[in-house]
Structure 1
Amino acid sequence: MISPAQNFAAQLLASFTKAGVTQVFLAPGARSQALAIAAGQLAEANKIDLHVRLDERSMGFQALGSAIGSGEPAIVITTSGTAVANLHPAVLEAHHSGVPMILLTADRPHELRGVGASQTTNQVGIFADAVRECVDVPAPNGNDGEGIEAAQLAANAIAVALGFDGDQPGPVQLNLAFREPLSATEPNAAQLNPIVHLPQRSQWRPEFVQLDSKIPTVVLAGANAGEAAVELAESWGWPLFAEPSSGARYGSNAIVGYRRMLDEQSQLAQEIGRVVVFGKPTLSRSVIRLLFNSKIEVVVVRSQQMGHFDVSRRATHIVDEVSVDDEVDFHWLEQWRAADEVAQQNSAPAGELNRASLVRAVWAASENDDRIVLGASRLIREAELWAPAKPVAVFANRGLAGIDGTIATATGIAQVNQEGTTRVLLGDLTLLHDASSLVVDHSEPELNIQLVVGNDNGGTIFESLEMAKTLSQKTFTKLFKTPQQVDLWHLAQAYGWQYLRVENQDELQQALVATGRVLVDVRL
């Protein structure tokens, strides 16, 4: 049986593989069966890593994690209808954090749209401006030239997803219409050898600014700031305020206790005259207040990954590189270092099991081959306070800073970085929000991944906000804290994870060296 759908799907997937894309994520469905068969053929030939998930929401975040961990576009295959809509949370995060993803969304042919056909909705534009490009591909009919068209589609999707045109990387949608017969066993995608030409990356012309060296300056490194923030701070002798997921919380200029000094409006904090911003800072109000302070100059260094950042609309310069006009007085840096040392000495007492000691223990246990993934809960803000300056890989979904998909994202990161251990530091509600991602695909290699759950029975993150002071305790608990009574031991057992309950520091140390898939229930 000849199936134009199968021929086109095989050519398309083979083209992606020929161009070097290897991570493919699939949720089963009828309309997408040709894509699934082609992906299966490539996986059997060891040309791709194929990950099959039960639901599209979880799959979307796992693909997101894979792309974060590898820098390679992740291909996502879905059937039509609500399957596509379930990708939306992960697509939004990828959009705002500059993560390359390629969405292959199967669809009905044009004649079956808008007439009430089953499992059919308007998938063109369903993600609005959250995708870099949406291409509505008509149903193939077997004409000559469709193989060349498939190769061109793949090359263009890769280039746009990776930002070859100079724009921010991000998700791309190929909406693929298919007519019956929806699949066949031939051609075998693994035996095809399409010709794929990726376009050249656009020429990058950086913009520079030269700053007055006499203004007391700090470097603020938000999410995904990277080593460029460290290099600038150390080049000009400026204190570095680096969030945990910045990729810049290390080196001799890192001031770990910056948030406490800003919260307390220390003398040094009041002397800040300029902030140079990298990445996307999101964690603390005291940091954001710096950017709105009319007495402080704001300079933003562009982040291709995190996109435009100028929340106060006050940036005097938005540039690619920074230099200064004269030598910098390192006395400013020494003052911050001395104050930081005092702040660390006056921090939480040792020996107690609390959020501070939990953060420090996770950082102490993590070395060069390990990774830390932070959920959008109270613990990432505790990490901003307590995590030491250490060159360990730390990830977090800070594009939209949503609670969703933390386990799935971490699983994707672990799958493309199988050396060492991936430790996920998250709250109990963040765990429950993504509990369906605990499903284990036993056909894939075992992962070393620890879900380190700071279990405080609910959303204590809201206790620091205004409504906690104005509402009655009963109302606050119902509307915001939302305590749950889920037995995490039974949850771990149901999904096949090892369960470890932790009630003191010694038990925590032992738990953090466990291997395999482990749920560590830390009672706070």
Structure 2
Amino acid sequence: MANWDLWPVHSFVDGLVAAGVRQAVISPGSRNTPLTLAFAEQSDVQVYTHMDERSAGFFALGLAKSTNAPVVLCCTSGTATANYYPAVMEAFEARVPLIVVTADRPHQLRDVGANQAVRQPGMYAAHVKWALEMPVPDGSVGIARHAAAMAARAAAVALASPCGPVHINYPFVEPLLPPLRTDLDASHRVPVPKLYGPVGSEPSTEAVERLLAALRRAKRPLFVLGPQPSARLARAVRAFCDDEGIPWFADVLSQARFAGEVPSTAQVTHYDMLLLAAGNKAPVPDLVVRFGAQPTSKSLGGFFQRMSGRAQVFVVDTTEWYRDASLVATDVIAGDELALVRRLKSQSLDRRAEWQGHLQWWRRADEAIGAQIGAFTEEHWFEGSALRSLVDALPADAQLFIGNSRPIRDLDALVNPARAPLLLFGNRGVSGIDGIVSTAFGIAAGGRSHPTVLCVGDVSFYHDLNGLLAARRFDVPLTVLLIHNDGGGIFQHLSQAERKDALEYFTTPHGLDFEEITRAYGGVFTRVGDAAQLKQAVRQATGQPNGLQVIEVRFENAESAALYGKLRSLTQDAIQAVVQ
């Protein structure tokens, strides 16, 4: 029997729709029944039900990343809410607009020992932009108007710069079945506030003039484009630096590395290995302009530390909530990054001739390192070779989601720009290995017109095996390149490798064979052993209209670590001809 006190929940969903929400990921449960049914009966919302809450959280994260729109994540009360926490943390740090709606017991059941009643209000603490507890629905028009307004406001806050998650805790009293949407009449329709967000914030004229003055007096300028989602910003930075003759570094997630264009005349592609090989012999710039989030490269982070106090460093971000993990910023410009680059481009610096020597050093060094990497990866088969083969085989406009730990580092350091344009994604907000598979499925679901490929290590894959259910449940096609080295191979490259007697406590070898697991989820499993086989398998898999395709390539941890050591030695030799 319908509980008419719950009809305002339909107004809550209508408020979300009016504010731009078109997708909801729901974890099945009893207490969120009113929300589940209200979303299911709203024809403007596409509903995904995901039985594993942790996987659901990362699936919603991927959807929001892919669509650049707010996505609802909804669960029942109790421990289900805690399983969303890793995805909420990633959304907060990565600036992804999630609207987390947790159903709850009513207030009178809290702190009295009632079943499944926990302290949910404010549970995500500092990892959400806003937290709100809704009143228990009572069937009144006033409560319905409040529900619609708070829903619209939640979407607006999630989208406001910088984007991020919000949390709505919604308590319900039994019975939990709301009336059908079709049973509502005109008396149950409430207005939804129309919110007009800012069109954009132009950087201040004072900030632009200060940066222009710094550029005009600089002798060794450098631009850095960190992880960010805008291809337009990437193209603008590239055009400005190419025109002015300013060397620039582009992170693997900057949307500039794999743009599918004629090679840039000023981009330094292999800066990660170059900086590692050159050490203190790399020229320290006197001016750095950095866009986007903190770059992936560890050697670039060290380079930033070396320039501290020796260079003027402008960090440009969309908001005053800027990101500077290296703590080297001397100036921060908040506002529309693209607008800033366009204003710079409208000015005549006329310094190209003076900067030519500086640019040529970086270009010669980049060519030397790139040639060495290319020759080495052709001759040896290891993770870096596999990543290069993967990129070579991807079709134009493919979505590549790159896993954390070794895969993203290998892609950043060793892979040449792709001839075909690619869209790059990763979870670098908190850089965890949790929920990688589910996030990639969310990316695939949000961009079904693009073939989607996930490159992931075996430990990350193991951590989110439940996420594989999305392939069959939602008919989402995904190709997975599984880099299998039986444990955390990254620790072979860190200081822990010095303790051979205790290394297994870090690498955690598991001995798992993922073939049967893949088939259990309805996927097709292929194991490859060289570059030619990998390319063929990737081209075949990405040509399939649907289904889960897992391509596994195996490497030995110790052997791979030795090859990386040899490559580092060779790049150090290669750089000597440039620095002498």
Where does residue 474 of structure 1 map in the other structure? 501
Structure 1 match to 2:392 = 364
Counterparts of 1:172-321 in structure 2, within 5 Å, are 172-188=166-182, 194-202=190-198, 204-207=201-204, 208=208, 209-210=211-212, 211-213=214-216, 214-224=218-228, 226-227=230-231, 228-235=233-240, 236-249=244-257, 250=259, 252=264, 253-265=266-278, 269-293=282-306, 294=308, 295-304=310-319, 307-320=321-334, 321=340
3-state DSSP of counterpart to 2:417: coil
> Could you tell me which amino acid in structure 1 is paired with residue 549 of structure 2?
V
Q: Is the 8 A contact 2:5 2:140 kept in 1?
A: no
2:122 to 116, 121, 125: 125
1:480 CA drift (Å): 0.8
Change (3 A) 1:417 1:438: same
2:484 corresponds to which of 429, 452, 455: 455
Whether 1:464 aligns to 2:490 is no
Question: Partners of 1:229 and 1:219 in 2: how far apart?
Answer: 12
Determine which of 532, 536, 542 is the counterpart of 1:506. 532
Residue 101 of structure 1, CA deviation: 0.6
Q: How does 1:373-388 map to 2 (within 5 A)?
A: 373-388=401-416
What's the CA shift for 1:366? 2.4
The answer for the alignment partner of 1:402 in structure 2 is 432
1:66-89 deviations in Å (ceiling 9; x for gaps): 000001100011101111111100
2:552 aligns to what? Answer: 521
2:517 aligned counterpart, secondary structure: helix
**TM-score, normalised with respect to structure 2:** 0.84
Query: Could you say what secondary structure the match of 1:106 adopts?
Result: strand
Q: Which residue of structure 2 aligns with residue 41 of structure 1?
A: 41
In structure 1, the gaps of 5 or more residues are: none
Judged with a 3 Å threshold, the aligned counterparts in structure 2 of structure 1 residues 125 and 300 are, in CA distance, closer, same or farther, namely same
Alpha carbons 1:230, 1:240 under 8 Å: kept:
no
Report whether the alignment pairs 1:32 with 2:32: yes
Matched with 1:432 is 462
- Residues 197-222 of structure 1, C-alpha deviations (whole Å, 9 max, x = no match): 33222362413232233331222222
SS of equivalent residue, structure 2 residue 141: coil
- 1:1-37 Cα distance to aligned partner (Å, 9 max, x none): 4424531222211332233311110111111001111
* Distance verdict in 2 for CA 1:441–1:232, change over 3 Å: closer
Q: CA deviation at 1:231?
A: 2.1
- Residue 407 of structure 1 contacts residue 438 of structure 1 at CA under 8 Å; is this kept in 2? yes
Q: Per the alignment, do residues 314 and 281 of structure 1 end up closer, same or farther by CA in structure 2, a change over 3 Å counting?
A: closer
Q: Measure, in 1, the Cα distance between the counterparts of 2:509 and 2:49.
A: 33
Aligned residues: 513
What SS does structure 2 have at the residue aligned with 1:388? Answer: coil
Partner-residue secondary structure (3-state), 2:191:
coil
TM-score, normalised to structure 1's length? 0.92
Aligned residue for 2:515, secondary structure, equals helix
Q: Which range moved further: 370-379 or 268-277?
A: 268-277
User: Cα offset for 1:474?
Assistant: 3.3
1:296-354 per-position Cα deviation (integer Å, ceiling 9, x unaligned): 332101145x9521223331111143648832335133332232222221112416432
1:221–1:281 contact (8 Å) kept in structure 2: no
CA distance in 1, matches of 2:430, 2:10: 35
Letter in structure 1 aligned against 2:239: E
Q: Does 1:23 align with 2:19?
A: no
Q: Is the 8 A contact 1:9 1:35 kept in 2?
A: yes
How far apart are 1:365 and its partner, in Å? 2.3
In structure 1, distance between residues paired with 2:182 and 2:379: 61
CA–CA distance in structure 2, aligned partners of residues 364 and 303 of structure 1: 33
Partner of 2:370: 344
Q: Which amino acid aligns with 1:86?
A: N
* Structure having the larger proportion of residues in helix: 2
Secondary structure of 2:278's match? Answer: coil
For the Cα contact (< 8 Å) 2:99–2:158, is it kept in 1? yes
Q: What is the rounded CA distance, in whole Å, between the counterparts of 2:19 and 2:92 in structure 1?
A: 23
% identity of equivalent residues:
31
Q: Relative to 1, partners in 2 of residues 1:441 and 1:368: Cα closer, same or farther, differing over 3 Å?
A: closer
Contact 2:251 2:296 (8 Å CA) reproduced: yes
Q: Which runs of 5+ in 2 are unaligned?
A: 335-339, 556-580
Which deviates more, 29-38 or 217-226?
A: 217-226
Q: Which region of structure 1 is more displaced relative to structure 2, 244-253 or 145-154?
A: 244-253
Q: Give secondary structure in 2 for the equivalent of 1:173.
A: strand
Between 211-220 and 49-58, the greater mean CA deviation after superposition: 211-220
Q: Secondary structure of the equivalent of 1:319?
A: strand
Which residue in 2 is equivalent to 1:7? 7
Pair 1:5–1:61, CA change in 2 (3 A)? farther
Partner of 2:573: none
Partner of 2:181, secondary structure, is: coil
- Confirm or deny: 8 A CA contact 1:224 1:279 kept in the other structure: yes
Which letter maps to 1:430?
S
Equivalent residue letter for 1:297: Q
Find the residue that maps to 1:362 and give its secondary structure: helix
Aligned AA (1:506): A
Q: Which amino acid aligns with 1:474?
A: D
* Contact kept in structure 2, 1:24 and 1:75, CA below 8 Å: yes
Cα distance in 1 for partners of 2:517, 2:378 equals: 32
- Greater CA drift, 266-275 or 342-351: 266-275
What is the CA–CA distance in structure 1 between the aligned matches of 2:398 and 2:88, rounded to whole Å? 26
The answer to whether 1:335 aligns with 2:349 is no
